Amino acid sequence: MRAVTDGSPRRAPTRPEGPIVLGDSIAAALFSSAPDGQVIVDASGRIVLANPQAEQMFGWPSGAMVGELIEELVPERFREVHAKDRSDYHGEPHTRPMGLGLELRARRRDGSEFPVEISLSPVETDVGLLVIAAVRDVSERVAREAHASRIQRSLDAISDGVYMFDPTSLRFTYVNQGAIEQSGWPRAELLTMGPLGIMVDTDAEELGALVAPLIERRLGSRSITTRHRRADGSTLPVEVLVQVPDLGPDIEPTVVAVVRDISERMEQDERLRAAHQELQLAEDRERIARELHDTVIQRLFATGMGVQALATRVSEPEVAERLGRVVDDLDTTIRDIRTAIFGLQGGVFGAGVRAEVLKVAHEAVPALGMEPRVRFLGPVDAVVGPEVAEHLVPTLREALANVARHARASRVEVTLRCTSERAHLQVADDGVGPPTGDAVAPGDGLTGRGLRNVARRAEALGGTCVLRPGPDGGSVLEWDVAVAGLDDDED
């Protein structure tokens, strides 16, 4: 442009009258400089013009595409269908924009394929209908989408819940399949919620204090243990790892929370704590049992020996008799302590017949209104095998239930005496005694369904069962069976 030097004012540019008509040179420049590949095809499907971008995209030398069928740019497996579609399009030409969701593939001259988006624009000319195809190589975008899809599938494949949320709106922007299964909410509903909708023990202020150091880059991550509310209203103990990835200065921060269900781990921890407590309790009981055996029983035994020796030197019969009763009481006390020791050494109830007898006696306390006194005499666990125990334990349970129902007793004593050949169970009470006032054997019409079952159990083991009055009132159930040779008989 020539500069104005005469000082006269500049004239405003004048607009031409009528529409602007682009010359061939301008149209050619626009065609050649278009960012997408441009290919013009005639009615026969042959290329009449291609811009440099199209030639570079498809790997053809300059000008070499002209005259080729458009199907040369289509993978071979699609060419027949494409030719038919092209014919149909020429019958009803219309503009088709890009981005219609079509998954299109193009073919380079070397035979390689790549994904494309194509728009079509029909143009009527002096030489007939021409179609301008704008072709865009979307390989990078498709690769990014495939990569993002792989990441999402990977996130969905893990069992932990992954939640992403905006720290300003506190709304979820992404949740994985693990979060859906963990929370019980569908994805669409979760994406209308935020962390405050599922965190039971956290409010907005606490959540802000949790993520602020992460957004300010003072901390890289934070971990908390809390509870989440599920869709069905139940709560789930979880461990949450919270991070804010550094995606660059131009990208708004996103909070990522990886949530792990720790209910199973907490149950295991609880079982471990319970086992540890039981172990400590067992060790304490073992120590107490040892002290009772090594110290208390020995002292009582020594005291009894001393009293017994003293009784031989006393000339007055009444005093000697009283000292004898003291010795008997000391013997009874020693037996009671030994029974207690066996109970302590068996844990809470432990294993074996002793433990089962103690357990049945303890379970009967609510019905009886008192704790039965239990004594063991002889090698109980050594001689009572499973077959005898299978009948002995229910027999004791039925005997104690019978006392609770009928005897109106204030004291119950259970004694299990075992030898190498027999097991003898005795249940004595101070109640009203047997209905008949006499000893009753199974064959003599032992009354009550439960007592008849007890008698049948004794008979099954070749034993006897008798219900008789106690020496000082009440009743005594005597249940006696053989223990030797049962296993041999089974073989």
Q: Residues 110-126: pLDDT tens digits?
A: 999 999 999 999 998 88
Q: Tell me, what amino acid is at 248?
A: G
Mean pLDDT of 130-146: 92
| Gap between the Cα atoms of 264 and 404, Å rounded | 43
With 0-12 / 13-18 / 19 or more C-beta atoms within 10 angstroms meaning exposed / middle / buried, residue 455 is buried
Read off the pLDDT of residues 284-331 as tens digits, 9 standing for 90 and up.
877 887 787 778 877 887 888 888 888 788 788 888 888 888 888 888
Is 334 in contact with 301 (CB distance < 8 Å)? yes
- The count of other CB atoms within 10 Å of the CB of residue 438 is 11
Mean pLDDT in residue range 49-72: 94
Read off the pLDDT of residues 185-220 as tens digits, 9 standing for 90 and up. Answer: 999 999 999 999 999 999 999 999 999 999 999 999
**Inter-axis angle of helices 263-291 and 317-345, nearest 10:** 160
Please report the pLDDT score of residue 23 as a whole number: 55
The helix (H) or strand (E) run that includes residue 320 is helix 317-345
Fill in the DSSP letter of residue 174: E
- Residues with Cβ within 8 Å of 73's Cβ and at least 6 positions away in sequence, in order, are 39, 58, 106, 107
Cα 58 from Cα 56, distance rounded (Å): 6
What does the angle CA 179 – CA 185 – CA 188 come to, to the nearest 5 degrees? Answer: 90
Locate 333 and state its tokens.
């006390």
Query: What is the pLDDT, as a whole number, of residue 348?
Result: 44
In terms of pTM, does the model score above 0.75?
Answer: no
